[in-house]
Amino acid sequence: MASIWEITEDALDGLGVALAANVMVMPTGTALPDEFIVFQLISSPPAQAANDVETLRRYRMQVTYYNRAGLISMPGSEASMVTAGFTKSVYRELPYNQLTRHFGLAMEFLYLVEE
């Protein structure tokens, strides 16, 4: 199986938005893009065991969308994640970042894997 980060990146790659795992790091002197997505693993508890052997694991990935223009016209990240086999979970709007001038939305998705 590909790693959960590879699966998530593959799901989001076609959106045409700058994408990074964990944090968007720009070269010195370069500003953050007006619009970008970062993703990270929040948790990965076992979901099922049989005879003391793990049989299922549930990954919780957070996909965070940032945009200086607001959150009205977001890319299809939700549909892309669902198409890749994720289930929608908790969404929450982040406080406006006065330093970078970005609005943000954190979306969590669940991915169940047979071990």
All domains of the chain in start order, with CATH: 4-114 (3.30.2000.10)
45-84 per-residue burial string, b: 16 or more CB within 10 A, e: under 16: eebeeeeeeeeebebbbbbbbbbeeeeeebbebbebbeee
Q: Which residues pair with 53 in a beta bridge?
A: 50
What pLDDT digit, counting tens, does each position of 37-55 carry? 999 999 999 999 999 999 9
Instruction: Specify the pLDDT at position 100.
Output: 95
Query: For strand 53-67 and strand 35-43, is the pairing parallel, antiparallel, or unpaired?
Result: antiparallel
Mean pLDDT value of segment 14-21: 95
Q: Which residues pair with 107 in a beta bridge?
A: 63, 91
Distance from C-alpha of 6 to C-alpha of 8, rounded to nearest angstrom: 5
Mean pLDDT value of segment 91-99: 97
**Cβ atoms 67, 102 nearer than 8 A:** yes
